């Protein structure tokens, strides 16, 4: 048994007895292993007595789950209506330049800071009222 398989087994066991445990399990696996790959899907399916297709269907439906681990640090930038109204689109060329190959920029739709956009998120940290310089600093600082 591989270490991953053992770890997934522990996660599944931790959620035993919960109603509809698949999403909480997937969140934990994603946090632990950085992704939910085909092998993880197989192990989870077996543990929950589901088909692999069932689990893959769920994993592929949600934006939060990925099939391979991202090695670059990530900056999420909100590009929904309210942040657009506050000029996020004009910041994007500069942000892409600041990110280069090192940082992964992801578009999200709404971080709930709509009165103080443009907004971004790194890990569980939020950043608001960003201008070109502020966003470049957020991107430069992310590890």
Partner 1 sequence: MIVRISDDALARALGADALAHAFTQKGHTVERTSSWGMHWLEPLVEVGGNAFGPATLGDVEAILDGSSDKAIGEPAKHPFIARQQRLTFARAGKTRPTSLEDYQATGGWAGLRRARQMGGAAIVEEVTQSGLRGRGGAGFPAGIKWKTVANTPGDQKYVVCNADEGDSGTFADRMLMEGDPFALIEGMAIAGEAVGASQGYIYVRSEYPDAIRKLEAALNLCATVIAPFRCEVRIGAGAYVCGEETSLLNSLEGKRGEVRAKPPLPAIEGLFGKPTVVNNVLTLAAVPHILAEGGAAQYGALGIERSKGTMPIQLAGNIRHGGLFETAFGVTLEQLVHDIGGGTDSGRPVKAVQVGGPLGAYLHPDQFDIAFDYEAYTAADALIGHGGITVFDDTADMGHMARFAMQFCAAESCGKCTPCRIGAVRGVELIDRIRAGGRSADAVEAQPVMHNAPKSGRLPEQEIALLTDLCETMKFGSLCALGGFTPYPVMSALTHWPEDFMPGGEGAVQKVLDRNEV
User: Which residues contribute to the site for partner 1 (CB under 8 A)?
Assistant: 19-24, 26-27, 57-58, 61-65, 78, 80-86, 108-117, 119, 121, 124-129
Convert the chain into a string of H (helix), E (strand) and C (coil): CCHHHHHHHHHHHHCCCCCCCHHHHHHHHHHHHCCCCHHHHHHHHHHHCCCHHHHHHHHHHCCCCCCCCCCCCEEEEECCHHHHHCCHHHHHHHHHHHHCCCCEEEEECCCCCCCCCCCEEECCEEECCCCHHHHHHHHHHCC
Task: Report the nearest approach of partner 1 to the CB of residue 125 (Å).
Answer: 8
Q: Is the Cβ of residue 23 or residue 102 nearer to partner 1 in the bound state?
A: 23
Task: Report the nearest approach of partner 1 to the CB of residue 78 (Å).
Answer: 8
Q: Is the Cβ of residue 69 or residue 102 nearer to partner 1 in the bound state?
A: 69
Q: Is the Cβ of residue 25 or residue 99 nearer to partner 1 in the bound state?
A: 25
Task: Report the nearest approach of partner 1 to the CB of residue 25 (Å).
Answer: 8
Q: Is the Cβ of residue 57 or residue 102 nearer to partner 1 in the bound state?
A: 57
Task: Report the nearest approach of partner 1 to the CB of residue 75 (Å).
Answer: 14
């Amino acid at each position: 048994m591989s270490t991953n398989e053992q770890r997934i087994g522990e996660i599944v066991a931790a959620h035993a007895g919960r109603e509809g445990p698949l999403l909480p399990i997937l969140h934990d696996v994603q946090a632990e292993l950085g992704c939910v790959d085909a092998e993880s899907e197989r192990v989870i399916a077996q543990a929950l007595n589901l088909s692999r297709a069932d689990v893959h269907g769920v994993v592929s439906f949600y934006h939060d789950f990925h099939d391979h681990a991202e090695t670059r640090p990530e900056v999420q930038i909100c590009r929904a209506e309210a942040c657009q109204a506050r000029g996020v689109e004009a910041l994007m060329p500069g942000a892409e330049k600041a990110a280069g190959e090192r940082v992964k920029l992801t578009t999200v739709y709404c971080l709930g800071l709509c009165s103080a956009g443009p907004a971004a998120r790194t890990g569980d940290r939020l950043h608001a009222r960003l201008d070109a310089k502020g966003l470049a600093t957020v991107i430069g600082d992310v590890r």
